[in-house]
């Protein structure tokens, strides 16, 4: 081998570029940590988890008469699983939307108010991906809030009431295990409905640097939607309201399961997520960050 061949530079071996991820798992883990470590969000979860406990204790001390109170309340003494269903029914109109409003309203506006949004945008990640990470944290909180009510309801129901057959709305009786499966479907359906509220809250959060204003606006919109849905004269717009199909989870408690209204509810939630997610991206992608 000649000296020239020995001293010739070794050709560089081409390396394959690492595939770009749609969402950084590191950012997602960081966002989830921030969402669930905030004292405010933890306090809201504790309040939600206390609802089934209060309901179960109240029913245990004084059995309600048939027809009194919200749906499923009079069925609690026959099967503890109805504690969870009753609790979900109680928290759905106000407490759950409020919890989601707190988490989603704080997503962007909270960073802006603290002055950390400027540094967060310095991360080499597009604003669209950053917004998707923020919404992932909101969706996780929606799921956690709903499952917390359901899980605590099941546990307190096991402790205070019998584990027996579950009578569905159609009158059919199913096993306790099958009832748990139906409860899980109900919780997931409600979580999807709350994800639509979260998308609205994310959009509102991009419009202001005050997290309290974003939270309040989102909560007011949720209440206003339910008020409009309760006015018979406005029946034309009812199917377009994001709260219209919230109580359609009752169809999951029939035998066989009726999917018509449930599918309409899922499509409505997906539509609101798409519309307000796009609006949030449009606003956030061109947002002039001054704080």
Using H for helix, E for strand and C for coil, what is the string for 62-99?
Answer: CCCCCCCCCCCHHHCCCCCHHHHHHHHHHHCCCHHHHH
Over 80: is that where the pLDDT of 116 sits? no
b/e burial code for range 85-124 (CB count within 10 A of at least 16 → b): bbbbbbbbbebbbbbbbbbbbbbbbbbbbeeebeebeeee
* 258-282 average pLDDT score: 96
pLDDT at 246: 97
pLDDT at 70: 66
Q: Please, which contacts does 25-29 make with residues 24 or more away whose CB atoms are closer than 8 Å? A: 27/123, 27/125, 27/129, 27/130, 27/133, 28/133, 28/136, 28/137
Domain assignments of the chain as residue spans, ordered by start? 24-285
Over 70: is that where the pLDDT of 62 sits? yes
Inter-helix orientation angle 39-61/25-37, to 10°: 60
Q: Band of the pLDDT at 77, cuts 50, 70, 90?
A: confident
Q: Band of the pLDDT at 278, cuts 50, 70, 90?
A: very high
pLDDT at 74: 75
| Mean pLDDT of the chain, nearest integer | 88
DSSP 115-132: T-HHHHTTSSS-HHHHHH
Summarize pLDDT for 156-213 with one digit per residue, the tens: 999 999 888 898 988 899 999 999 999 999 999 999 999 999 999 999 999 999 999 9
pLDDT at 200: 98
Count H helices and E strands in the chain, helices first.
Answer: 11, 2
Share of the chain above pLDDT 90, in %: 67
Over 80: is that where the pLDDT of 65 sits? no
Higher pLDDT, 118 or 164: 164
Over 60: is that where the pLDDT of 281 sits? yes
Q: Band of the pLDDT at 291, cuts 50, 70, 90?
A: very low
* 256-283 average pLDDT score: 95
Lowest mean pLDDT among 164-168, 206-210, 267-271, 274-278: 164-168
* 80-87 average pLDDT score: 93
Q: Band of the pLDDT at 37, cuts 50, 70, 90?
A: very high
Over 80: is that where the pLDDT of 80 sits? yes
Over 70: is that where the pLDDT of 96 sits? yes
């Amino acid at each position: 081998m000649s000296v020239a061949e020995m001293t010739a530079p070794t050709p560089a071996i081409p390396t394959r570029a690492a595939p770009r991820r749609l969402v950084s798992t590191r950012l997602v883990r960081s966002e989830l940590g921030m969402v669930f470590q905030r004292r405010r969000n933890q306090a809201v979860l504790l309040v939600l988890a206390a609802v089934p406990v209060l309901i179960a204790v109240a029913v245990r001390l004084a059995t309600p008469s048939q027809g009194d109170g919200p749906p499923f309340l009079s069925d609690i003494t026959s099967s503890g699983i109805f504690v969870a269903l009753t609790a979900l029914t109680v928290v759905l109109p106000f407490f759950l939307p409020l919890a989601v409003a707190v988490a989603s309203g704080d997503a962007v506006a909270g960073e802006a108010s603290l002055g950390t949004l400027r540094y967060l945008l310095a991360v080499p990640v597009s604003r669209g991906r950053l917004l998707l990470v923020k919404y992932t944290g909101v969706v996780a909180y929606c799921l956690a809030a709903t499952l917390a009510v359901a899980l605590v309801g099941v546990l307190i129901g096991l402790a205070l009431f019998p584990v027996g057959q579950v009578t569905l709305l159609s009158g059919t009786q199913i096993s306790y295990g099958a009832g748990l499966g139906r409860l899980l479907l109900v919780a997931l359906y409600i979580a999807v409905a709350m994800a639509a509220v979260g998308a609205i809250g994310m959009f509102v959060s991009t419009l202001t640097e005050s997290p309290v204003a974003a939270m309040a606006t989102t909560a007011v919109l949720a209440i206003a939607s339910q008020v409009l849905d309760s006015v018979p004269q406005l029946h034309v717009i009812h199917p377009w309201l994001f709260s219209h199909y919230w109580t359609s989870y009752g169809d999951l408690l029939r035998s066989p399961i009726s999917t018509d209204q449930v599918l309409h509810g899922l499509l409505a939630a997906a539509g609101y997520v798409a519309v307000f997610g796009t609006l949030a991206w449009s606003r956030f992608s061109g947002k002039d960050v001054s704080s």
